[in-house]
Amino acid sequence: MADAPVGDDVYGDDPTVNCLEAKAAELLGQDSGLFVTSGTQGNLLAILTHCQRGEEYIAGTKAHAYLEEGGGGAVLASVQPQPIENQPDGTLDLKSVRAAIKPDDFHLAITRLFCLENTFFGTPLPMDYLSEAKALVSGNGLQFHLDGARIFNAAVSEGIAPDAIGGMFDSVSACLSKGLGAPIGSVLAGSRDFIQRARRWRKMLGGGTRQVGILAAAGLYALQHNIERLAEDHEHALLLAAGLGEIDELDVHKTDRRTNMVFISVPDSKRESLAGFMHDRGILVTVEENPIRLVTHLDIDRTGIHQTIDAFKDYFLRAA
C-alpha cells in the first residue's frame, strides 16, 4: 500500500485504482469496474443507476440491500423496494417475483430491477436458479443486480470461475473487505455505460476520492492472492460445525452448501454469559442475535478453530 503508484482518481488517473477496477471487472465478467467505499455504496449506486425516481426494485425480505442499508434506495434514490420473502436457501420464489412485477398502470410504481444476494447467509445460490431468474428478468425487461458481497465464496464453493456467476447480471457489487481481507472497499461492476453513469452518482454521494490508490492496492492484492484460499475458510467452517455439533445443547444449523459461516442456536439461558466467557479465551462472539453467526476468514487458522471448539465445549460443560 505504501509503495502504490497513485494519481487523482476523480480525474481517472490513479493507476492503481484503474488496475483494480479492470481486474475486478474481468473477474466478475463485466466490462468496467468502479472502486467504492463500501458494499452499501455499491448497492445504492446500482439502484440509483438502474432506476429512476418512482420506480421500484425487487429484493428479498432478508436481503442486505433491502434490510440492512438504512433504506437508502428509498431515501436517496426515491426508489421503493418490493420485498419478497426469501426461501431458506436464499432464493426468491420466481412465481412470486413474476406476480410482483407491476403492469403498466399509473397507480403503480414501475418495476425496474431485480436484486439477488450470493452467497446468502453463507449459502451459494444454485446456478440453475440463477439461469431461471435471468430468463425471468430478460423476459420482462428488468435489470438484474447481484449483491455479490461474497460472490468469490460462492464461486470457490461451486468450483467455478466468478465470471460464470457475475456475467449473468447487469451489475455486480463485490466486497474486498470481507473474506478477501482488504481493509476497506468494494467494487461495482457493469457495462461501460452503466459504470460511467454510476461514477456520476458516486461523485454526488461524496464517493469520488483522490490519491486512493493506497487503498486500491490492498484490494488488488486481495483479488490477486486471496480468492482461491477462501477454500480454506470453507474447510475451517466445516471443521467448526462438526466440532460444535458434538455439543448437545447447541443447535448447529445444517446445510449441504456451507461456505464460511456457521449458525448456531444457543438456549437463551446460556446466551448472556457466553460472550464474556469467550472473550476471556480470546474469542469475540456477538450474542445479541440468536442464531449466532460464526464466520471464518483469513486471520483464523486451524489452531484457532480448535481453540474455539474447545472453548465452546468448556463453556457448556462448565455451565451444565
- Residues of this chain that interact with ligand PLP (CB under 6 A) are 38-40, 64, 117, 147, 149, 175, 178, 186
Based on CB atoms, which residue is closest to ligand PLP, 56 or 117?
117
Based on CB atoms, which residue is closest to ligand PLP, 32 or 40?
40
Based on CB atoms, which residue is closest to ligand PLP, 281 or 293?
293
Based on CB atoms, which residue is closest to ligand PLP, 188 or 274?
188
Taking the complex as a whole, how short is the minimal distance between the CB of residue 176 and ligand PLP, in angstroms?
A: 9
Taking the complex as a whole, how short is the minimal distance between the CB of residue 36 and ligand PLP, in angstroms?
A: 9
Based on CB atoms, which residue is closest to ligand PLP, 147 or 158?
147
Taking the complex as a whole, how short is the minimal distance between the CB of residue 78 and ligand PLP, in angstroms?
A: 21
Q: Strand (E) positions, the chain?
A: 32-36, 55-60, 80-84, 110-117, 143-147, 171-175, 186-190, 251-252, 261-265, 292-295
- Cα(29)–Cα(165) distance, rounded to whole angstroms? 8
Give the closest residue to 177 by CA, choosing from 152, 194, 158, 195.
152
Taking the complex as a whole, how short is the minimal distance between the CB of residue 115 and ligand PLP, in angstroms?
A: 10
Task: Judge whether 200 and 266 are in contact, CB under 8 Å.
Answer: no
- Cα(244)–Cα(41) distance, rounded to whole angstroms? 36
Taking the complex as a whole, how short is the minimal distance between the CB of residue 148 and ligand PLP, in angstroms?
A: 8
Tell me the residue number closest to ligand PLP, measured at CB.
Answer: 39
Residue 107 CB neighbours (<10 A):
6
Taking the complex as a whole, how short is the minimal distance between the CB of residue 128 and ligand PLP, in angstroms?
A: 22
Residue 28 contacts by C-beta under 8 Å, 6 or more apart in sequence? Answer: 148, 151, 162, 163, 166, 167, 172, 174, 187, 189
**Grid-cell match 448472556, residue found:** 272
Taking the complex as a whole, how short is the minimal distance between the CB of residue 81 and ligand PLP, in angstroms?
A: 14
Taking the complex as a whole, how short is the minimal distance between the CB of residue 83 and ligand PLP, in angstroms?
A: 15
- Cα(153)–Cα(252) distance, rounded to whole angstroms? 20
| Beta-sheet pairing, 292-295 with 261-265 | antiparallel
Based on CB atoms, which residue is closest to ligand PLP, 49 or 186?
186
The C-alpha angle with vertex 87 and arms to 298 and 72, in degrees rounded to 5, equals: 70
Task: Judge whether 259 and 237 are in contact, CB under 8 Å.
Answer: yes
Question: What are the two backbone dihedrals, phi and then psi, of residue 7, each rounded to the nearest 5 degrees?
Answer: -140, -150
**Grid-cell match 448456531, residue found:** 264
Based on CB atoms, which residue is closest to ligand PLP, 36 or 217?
36
Based on CB atoms, which residue is closest to ligand PLP, 149 or 309?
149
Based on CB atoms, which residue is closest to ligand PLP, 145 or 178?
178
What is the Cα Rg of the chain in Å? Answer: 21
Total number of residues shown for the chain: 320
Taking the complex as a whole, how short is the minimal distance between the CB of residue 27 and ligand PLP, in angstroms?
A: 18
